[in-house]
């Protein structure tokens, strides 16, 4: 009986370890990304997951229209936006 209890406690400990090292941090990152997407507004400079810099021209339900150059606009899914560019990044790029 004692050996079975140790095995069960080992499995429970392993699951708890996986939860705190893998699952929980991923959930926190996902919540931060969802919050960033909810707070997008026209005029924000963003970087897509593919590395494209652009300014938001229009926000639709599931996508945004980005201006990437003069007279060049592309439509990308909101989920494809990796981050909002900081002021320092904008000036370094220009």
Render pLDDT for 59-86 as a digit per residue (tens, 0 to 9): 999 999 999 999 999 999 999 999 999 7
Q: Which token pair is 1?
A: 């009986």
The DSSP secondary structure of 44-93, one letter per residue, reads -EEEETT--EEEEEEE-SSEEEEEEETTEEEEEEGGGEEEEPPHHHHHHH
The predicted pLDDT at position 2 comes to 87
50-59: Cβ within 8 A, 24+ apart: 50/80, 52/76, 53/85, 53/93
Q: What is the mean pLDDT of residues 43-59?
A: 95
CA–CA dist 36, 81 (Å, integer): 9
Q: Write down the mean pLDDT value for the chain.
A: 90
């Amino acid at each position: 009986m004692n050996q079975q209890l140790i095995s069960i406690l080992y499995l429970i400990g392993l699951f708890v370890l996986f939860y705190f090292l893998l699952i929980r941090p991923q959930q926190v990152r996902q919540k931060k990304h969802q919050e960033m997407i909810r707070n997008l507004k026209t005029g924000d400079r963003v970087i897509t997951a593919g590395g494209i810099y652009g300014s938001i021209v229009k926000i639709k339900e599931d996508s945004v229209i980005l201006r990437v150059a003069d007279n060049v606009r592309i439509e990308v899914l909101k989920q494809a936006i990796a981050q909002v560019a900081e002021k320092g990044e904008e000036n370094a790029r220009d």
